[in-house]
Amino acid sequence: MNICQIYRSSGAKRFICGLSAWFFLSVFADSLSAEPLKISFACEDVGIPPFIVGNGSDIDADKPGVSVELLKLLEDKLHVKISFSRMPWKRALVELENNRISGIFHASFKPERMLLGVYPMKNGEADQGKQIATFSYILYKCSPSPLRWDGISLTDINGPIGVIMGYSIAEDLRTMGAKISEAYTPFQNMKMLSIGRIAGVADLEESGDAVLNQYSEEFGNIVKMSPPLKQKCYYLMLSHKFVKENPELAPAIWNETEKIRKSETYKKLFDKYSNSFQEFLTK
């Protein structure tokens, strides 16, 4: 019996099919049993509720924030293990640049930051579909104050504008002719504003509003201006080293982030954090 006759026999066919199935299952089992890839992400140590809650280096295991929980969902989907750390934003940028962490969030798109890390890109710009969140920057001032903002121009600036150290809105304000005063927390900026040390505060709406709500008696003379100074998309930036070493995983991370952000699961995360701003806001 030649080889063709052997292959045509039903017994041989069953043997070959069984051998192929065994090989496939073995490879699949090995892939599942492999240790998940360890990834390190960093975010800033100033709360941006509900996206990041609380201040300082610690991360609350039960309620870390919407963005942290979103990224945790990547673990099962992509077979990775993510560790999170919190640090001042400027330090996070340095850590990313030196490839000491896998990624940082929340990073607005600035072309010069492409030297530090990698954004999800489309047609030469950051892909807004793959953002991790959208924030609005709001201007706050004391009442009465001559400071004016009409949506285009900033006028009657009678002192520096307070911003959180490292926030990209500082460059926008400088372009408008404002001087900048940097602080570490929203509370510090609002305190400086309330005693007349600065002319205004530019902060993320969620953070600024939360401070005013919690310390309404202390900061009762501070008012919220409109329209927003700027609305920006924010991204998970990955390090150059991580993208180079994981050319398939990097886009998968951004793709899965987009899917989760558009899902019902993401909406449920916001429900979990409703009315929880004051609980996590500290000085």
pLDDT at 214: 83
**Percent of the chain scoring above 70 in pLDDT:** 85
**Pair 201, 251 in one domain:** no
Final residue of a structural domain among 191, 215, 231? 231
Q: Is residue 12 part of a domain?
A: no
pLDDT at 33: 55
* Between 34 and 71, the higher pLDDT residue: 71
pLDDT at 205: 87
Strands (E), the chain: 37-44, 80-87, 103-108, 121-122, 125-126, 133-142, 148-149, 154-155, 161-164, 180-183, 200-204, 222-224, 230-238
**Pair 129, 243 in one domain:** yes
Q: Is residue 238 part of a domain?
A: yes
State how many domains the chain has: 2
What does the block give as tokens for 154?
């900033």
Distance (Å, whole) CA 132 – CA 235:
5
**Pair 186, 243 in one domain:** no
**Pair 66, 110 in one domain:** yes
Q: Is residue 26 part of a domain?
A: no
**Pair 129, 118 in one domain:** yes
CATH of the domain at 244: 3.40.190.10
**Pair 117, 42 in one domain:** yes
**Pair 41, 128 in one domain:** yes
Average pLDDT over residues 254-272: 91
Lowest mean pLDDT among 84-93, 244-253, 261-270: 261-270
Domain of 196, in residue numbers? 135-231
3-state DSSP call for residue 88?
A: coil
**Pair 63, 145 in one domain:** no
Question: Would the pLDDT of 86 be above 80?
Answer: yes
Question: Would the pLDDT of 154 be above 50?
Answer: yes
Q: Is residue 160 part of a domain?
A: yes
Q: Is residue 255 part of a domain?
A: yes
**Percent of the chain scoring above 90 in pLDDT:** 65
Per-residue pLDDT of 2-57, as tens digits, reads 444 444 455 544 544 444 445 544 443 444 558 999 999 999 998 787 899 888 89
Q: Is residue 17 part of a domain?
A: no
Distance (Å, whole) CA 99 – CA 103:
9
Q: Is residue 1 part of a domain?
A: no
Q: Which residues 6+ apart lie within 8 Å of 181 measured at CB?
A: 160, 161, 162, 163, 189, 192, 197, 198
